[in-house]
């Protein structure tokens, strides 16, 4: 079974070439996801980093390229994904415009031959549509402070309005307002995870969003160590290098190869051993070889064991041939 698994998985891993690149950008930046493929159809998939904020909890096919047409299949990306490059040459880029924090996640390109390129995108909090959101937290009290302001150099906004997952913040218990620009969340729990939006009261088109994620808030430092980020933004997309996910794939391949070799060796060893035993049995059972050792006939007592039956029926003598025992029936006349 192990050998079959190895023979099934190894060819797939050989055909698949996974490239992982990490990108960190502020909001509103246009991001290019380059993909080198030759076999159609090509599918782009996305798994969100902030599931509650994005409103998605599973991998989604966001863009499909085939012989007939190209299409976007997720509503949030409808007018923000475009295609650049020469598909016939096997080189293209999926371009994400007007990036926002909830777009963060894993973007994967795969064609029918399983060639894969993957990007880990993180859109940080920052200036978006003339609104800036900043977050501060106190780990001892688990309190989070979200402050909202106009972007530097932009039109000054006097009044702001906050919503959480589409609901007015004023309706939420445990939330405090300060001058309508600051929200204080006491004792943050999973109930407060999601999308926080701050918008201008006078012009709702001026707004920004912040994804509150307890995993990101408490484990941001660990995530940065696990997934080193490319802060060169769009110009850094051409950089390459081995990252932890790729190393994990290499380790898996090595383990599968070792398991496969071990299984083959054990199979050959057992087969050779079985063949050797069959040869020994063949030699020992040859008709021209005297395999009958001296025997003595007693009062119903065999040499290597005891076989007791009715004395009127007969007596048994045990003939021992190495590991096998042959019982002969000596009838008393």
Which residue bears the tokens 């099934």?
A: 8
Lowest mean pLDDT among 127-136, 273-282, 307-316: 307-316
Least confident of 144-148, 190-194, 195-199, 246-250: 246-250
Query: What pLDDT is recorded for position 324?
Result: 37
Per-residue pLDDT band at 169 (split at 50, 70, 90)? confident
pLDDT at 31 over 90: yes
Distance CA 329, CA 333 (A): 12
- Measuring CA to CA, which residue among 19, 25, 36, 51 is closest to residue 119? 19
What is the predicted pLDDT for the residue at 331? 40
In 3D space, the residue among 140, 116, 123 whose CA is nearest the CA of residue 48 turns out to be 123
Give residue-wise pLDDT tens across range 137-166: 866 557 899 999 999 989 999 999 999 999
What is residue 102's predicted lDDT score, i.e. its pLDDT? 97
Task: Please enumerate in sequence order all residues whose Cβ is within 8 A of that of 195, keeping only pairs 6 or more positions apart, or say none.
Answer: 52, 53, 54, 55, 102, 164, 165, 166, 209, 210, 211
Give residue 289's pLDDT. Answer: 47
Residue bearing the bigger pLDDT, 130 or 111: 130
pLDDT band, very low/low/confident/very high, at 282 (cuts 50, 70, 90): low
d(CA 199, CA 201): 6
User: Which tokens go with 5?
Assistant: 């698994």
Which range is least confidently modeled, 66-70, 75-79, 130-134, 158-162? 66-70
pLDDT of residue 246: 56
């Amino acid at each position: 079974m192990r050998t079959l698994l190895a023979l099934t998985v190894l060819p797939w891993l050989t055909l698949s070439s996974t490239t992982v690149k990490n990108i960190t950008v502020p909001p509103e930046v246009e991001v290019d996801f380059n993909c080198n493929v030759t076999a159609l159809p090509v599918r782009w998939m996305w798994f969100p980093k902030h599931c509650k904020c994005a409103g998605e909890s599973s991998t989604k096919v966001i863009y499909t390229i085939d012989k007939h047409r190209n299409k976007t299949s997720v509503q949030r990306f409808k007018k923000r994904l475009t295609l650049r490059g020469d598909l016939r040459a096997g080189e293209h880029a999926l371009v994400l415009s007007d990036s926002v924090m909830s777009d963060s996640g894993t973007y994967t390109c795969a064609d029918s031959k399983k060639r894969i390129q993957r990007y880990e995108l993180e859109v940080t909090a920052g200036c978006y549509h003339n609104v800036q959101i900043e977050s501060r937290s106190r780990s001892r009290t688990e309190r989070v402070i979200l402050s909202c302001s106009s972007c530097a150099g932009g039109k000054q906004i006097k009044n702001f309005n906050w919503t959480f997952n589409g609901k007015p913040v004023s309706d939420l218990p445990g939330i405090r307002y300060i001058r309508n620009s600051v929200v204080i969340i006491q004792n943050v729990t999973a109930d407060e995870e999601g999308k926080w939006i701050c918008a201008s009261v006078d012009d709702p088109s001026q707004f920004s969003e912040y994804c509150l994620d307890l995993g990101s808030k408490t484990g941001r430092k660990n995530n940065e160590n696990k997934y080193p980020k490319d802060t060169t933004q769009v110009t850094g997309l051409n950089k390459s290098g081995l990252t932890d996910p790729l190393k994990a794939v290499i380790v898996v391949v090595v383990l599968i190869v070792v398991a496969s070799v071990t299984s083959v060796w054990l199979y050959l060893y057992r087969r050779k051993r079985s063949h050797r035993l069959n040869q020994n049995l063949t030699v020992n059972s040859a008709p021209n070889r005297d395999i009958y050792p001296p025997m003595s006939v007693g009062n119903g007592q065999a040499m290597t064991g005891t076989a007791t039956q009715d004395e009127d029926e007969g007596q048994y003598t045990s003939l021992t041939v190495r590991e096998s025992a042959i019982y002969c029936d000596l009838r008393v006349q």
